[in-house]
Structure 1
Amino acid sequence: MEYRLVDRLPTVEEFVAVTRSVGWADAYDPAAIPASLAASLHAVVAVEGDRVIGLGRLIGDGAIYYYLQDLAVVPERQRRGVGAAILGRLEEWIAGRASARTFVGLFAAGESVALYRRFGYAVHDDMTGMFRVGPRRTS
């Protein structure tokens, strides 16, 4: 398998194809994807031939907070170093901009936890990852 990493946003179609392949089909409002991608700080795609087989992006304020978002590799190309290569390229981009106190966060699930641990990410005893989907409803 030969692929190359390209520092660019995925197209909406590429993003949908990769995220759908990993089971995230219902995770995003399709109408929101273009604006979400456009607001990214940086992104990397892994391209094999003319097909995007993996992607990852960074969101945040570009100064203090960075969040790794949507790191995904199509199932038939997983466990071959593609995800680690994408993560490494994103880490290089952050390193060129980050201060000693920059916070880099992410959400990880399942087997991806091991990949992030290899890059120095850990669960912090005093922090709890939290999230909410959709607007806050008030009664």
Structure 2
Amino acid sequence: MSSEIVEIVERIPTVSEYQFLRASVGWHNHSATIVERSLQNSLYSVCAIDCDLVVGYGRVVGDGYLYFYLQDVMVLPDYQGRGIGYRITKKIHNYVLSIAQPGTFFGLMAAAGAASMYEKFGFQRRPDTMPGMFIWIGAS
């Protein structure tokens, strides 16, 4: 299970692969219909695959011109700490840089403890004078 064996490929996971990854990292899940529509509206997706098992995933959402958001970078717990999340992020980062125009915004919301990895790609923490904000609609 070394990270060198794990391949990073451009593809959207199946609904069940995505739901399994979310559950494995402790994130709440959504209905299969919502997940399928959400995944299909991604701008770019990559899966980390070991043999035939999807062990990680990440994607880009946004308008494809001015705004890009790194979303859903997740790796199965048994595969964490092997650089797979970094490799997923690198592939996505390179994709966005290849199409972004001057003045493009590329943002993310990092999971607890993950900010330092994203800083390696040039992402900066928002200052207190520019707080990030969010609403979970109907979430419990």
Query: Among 85, 88, 91, which residue is 2:87 paired with?
Result: 85
Aligned to 1:56: 58
Pair 1:19 & 2:18 matched: no
Aligned to 1:111: 113
TM-score of the aligned structures, taking structure 2 as reference length: 0.90
Q: Deviations over 1:102-137 (max 9, x none)?
A: 1001101221111111111112324211111227xx
Give distance in 1, aligned partners of 2:32 and 2:13.
Answer: 14
Larger CA deviation: 90-99 vs 116-125? 116-125
CA shift at 1:99, angstroms? 1.1
Query: Among 70, 76, 90, which residue is 2:78 paired with?
Result: 76
Q: What amino acid does structure 2 have at the position aligned with 1:127?
A: M
CA shift at 1:55, angstroms? 0.2
CA contact (8 A) 2:23 2:29 kept: no
- Show structure 1 runs of 4+ deviating over 3 A: 27-31
Secondary structure (helix, strand or coil) at the match of 1:119 reads coil
CA contact (8 A) 2:19 2:29 kept: no
Aligned to 2:6: 3
User: Any unmatched runs of 5+ in structure 2?
Assistant: none
Give distance in 1, aligned partners of 2:38 and 2:32.
Answer: 10
Count of matched residue positions in the alignment of Structure 1 and Structure 2: 134
Give distance in 2, aligned partners of 1:3 and 1:53.
Answer: 8
Give distance in 2, aligned partners of 1:30 and 1:83.
Answer: 24
Q: What amino acid does structure 2 have at the position aligned with 1:10?
A: P
Q: What amino acid does structure 1 have at the position aligned with 2:130?
A: M
State the percentage of identical aligned residues.
Answer: 37
